[in-house]
Structure 1
Amino acid sequence: MDKVLAITGASTGIGAETARQAAAAGWRLVLGARTEARLAALVAELGEDRALAVPCDVREMAACEGLVAAALARFGRLDAVFANAGLGASRPGLDEGDPENWAEMAATNMLGLAQTARAAMPALRDSRGQFVITGSVAGRKVLKGSFYGATKWAANAYGYNLREALAGSGVRVTVIEPGMVDTPFFDEPKPQGLEAGDVARSVLFALSQPPHVEIHELVILPCRAED
């Protein structure tokens, strides 16, 4: 029986590319995001027999629970979750930052992550599955005045805390920490950055490990241009 992967933030960028690569690798998919039209287009691309679209705003606990319930109702199991939903800064920096944007980032990048984990854990305990988090290099170094960076420090830390809480359960926790990625996350193209597919391959690498192997962290950076 094919394994089942749920992805939040699945409609574009890293989430959508991970869905494509996972489908090619034989996974069944439950795709969650706020943008229903993009989700529907992705399911049409991958095939309705392989993918299910579930409108999901991770800021709402009921939506996270609904994503898991839909996976179990459709496929009867849930083997992995990729907690990828995230929000960036509308204006970076301490002095220029928008407190309303900070609140949205905290609700998505921090609370949304925790709520996704809470909703998924019963099913992942049953399957002895895996929980994968989109962290960031921004959560490994200091970015002056960056609230976004602070939320990614929190995401990385939550990965550590979650792993300790699940010790002995058979559920594995992986934090993927990319550098800049050229996706619609940014308003302008970032040709010097990674491609979404680079991060997706890292997610699939972590998911492909045998049950006795746990990839704790993967840091993925673009190669520096030659001088």
Structure 2
Amino acid sequence: MSHTVFVTGATSGFGEAIARRFALAGHRVVASGRRRNRLETLAAAMPAGLVLPLVLDVRDRDAVETAVTGLPEDFSEVDVLINNAGLALGLEPAQRADLDEWEEMVDTNIKGLMGVTRALLPGMVARGRGHVINLGSVAASWPYPGGNCYGATKAFVQQFSRNLRSDLLGTGVRVTNIEPGMAETEFSLVRFKGNADQAAAVYSGTRPLTAEDIAESVIWVTGLPAHVNINNLEIMPTDQAWGPFAVHREPQGK
């Protein structure tokens, strides 16, 4: 059975890989994002008519509502929502962090995700089927220095996903929170404002996850029987794990 899939942040990384994977499997895809040229390139590379490029900034609530209500008939009944649009900015400790960067992360990772979900959810409930997939992060559960606001936004995604499950009980609509660990996409390039050397250093000497790895996990959870719901899926590369407790010790004799 083919589905209609709405993907946010489809211009790069996880979002682009997820959109490609669904389209190549014969599903209709609304590929949304801020960079028109990348969306059009994606659509042109996929089977004709399966990818609808949609220029959209999820932070713009009015634009989200207009986009959803204005979807062409063939793409209007969305079965799967992939809330992928998000970003991390900066790695400074909280006392030196840029408040504008914090607000941008909140506006995108939290408010943008809420707005798109709220716009598409009523249709899913009315049809008695659907699947909301939120792209969270291991940072929701495992803090690290400099992850302050980013980790907090992903903790919101985790808890919001759980509460959606509670609200949607009995509706036939599924909710899954996917939490990737270290993955090499444009993530670090954005975090470090285009500094390619600094971004590359994050993955030096490791074999991180790829966008295709995450796309495959999304395909898996959506392809399970309709009565099966994967609540939370935490994924790390084998080169990543948890650290010991951090303990600060004053130098002896001080």
The normalised TM-score by structure 1 is 0.93
Q: Answer whether contact 2:91 2:145 (CA < 8 A) is retained.
A: no
Q: Does 1:199 align with 2:201?
A: no
Supply the distance in 2 between the matched residues of 1:26 and 1:15 (Cα, whole angstroms): 17
CA apart distance, 1:6: 0.3
Give me the whole-angstrom Cα distance separating, in 1, the residues matched to 2:82 and 2:75. 17
Aligned residues: 225
1:63 Cα deviation (Å)?
2.4
1:208: which partner in 2?
223
- State yes or no: 1:21 paired with 2:15: no
Identity %: 37
Distance 1:161 1:196 in 2: 27
1:71, 1:78 within 8 Å by CA — same for their partners in 2?
A: no
Worse-superposed segment, 87-96 or 69-78 = 69-78
Alignment check: 8 A CA contact 2:30 2:75 kept: no
The separation in 2 between residues aligned to 1:165 and 1:220, in whole angstroms, is 26
Q: Which one-letter code corresponds to 1:69 in the other structure?
A: T
The whole-number CA distance in structure 1 between the counterparts of 2:68 and 2:5 is 10
The answer for the alignment partner of 1:141 in structure 2 is: 142
| Largest Rg, 1 or 2 | 2
In structure 2, what is the equivalent of residue 176 of structure 1? Answer: 178
Distance 2:8 2:38 in 1: 13
- Give the whole-Å Cα distance in 2 for the aligned partners of 1:220 and 1:153: 16
Q: Which piece of structure 1 moves more, 54-63 or 142-151?
A: 142-151
Determine the C-alpha separation between the residues in 2 that align with 1:172 and 1:41: 31
Match of 1:69 in 2: 69
Matched residue type, 2:181: G
Contact 1:93 1:147 in 2 (8 A): no
* Residue in structure 2 matched with residue 159 of structure 1 by the alignment: 161
Q: TM-score normalized by structure 2?
A: 0.84
Q: 1:44 to 1:19 in 2, by over 3 A?
A: same
Q: Is the 8 A contact 1:82 1:132 kept in 2?
A: yes
1:72 to partner: Cα distance: 5.1
- In terms of mean alpha carbon deviation, does 43-52 or 63-72 score higher? 63-72
What amino acid is the match of 2:58? V
**Which residue type is aligned with residue 202 of structure 1?**
S
> What amino acid is the match of 1:168?
G
Question: How far apart are the structure 2 equivalents of 1:76 and 1:95?
Answer: 45
Amino acid at match of 1:196: A
The answer to whether the 8 Å contact 2:23/2:47 transfers is no
Deviations 1:42-101 (A, max 9, x none): 111114410001111111122222342344534342111000000111343213311001
Corresponding residue for residue 32 of structure 1: 32
Match of 1:100 in 2: 100
Q: Distance in 2 between matches of 1:221 and 1:70?
A: 38
CA-based RMSD: 1.7
Measure, in 1, the Cα distance between the counterparts of 2:92 and 2:27: 37
SS of the counterpart of 2:179?
strand
Tell me, in whole angstroms, the C-alpha distance in 2 between the residues paired with 1:99 and 1:17.
31
Q: 1:92 to 1:67 in 2, by over 3 A?
A: farther
Task: Give the structure 1 partner of residue 78 of structure 2.
Answer: 78
- The separation in 1 between residues aligned to 2:222 and 2:92, in whole angstroms, is 33
* Alpha-carbon distance in structure 2 between the residues aligned to 1:204 and 1:70: 27
Gaps of 5+ in 1: none
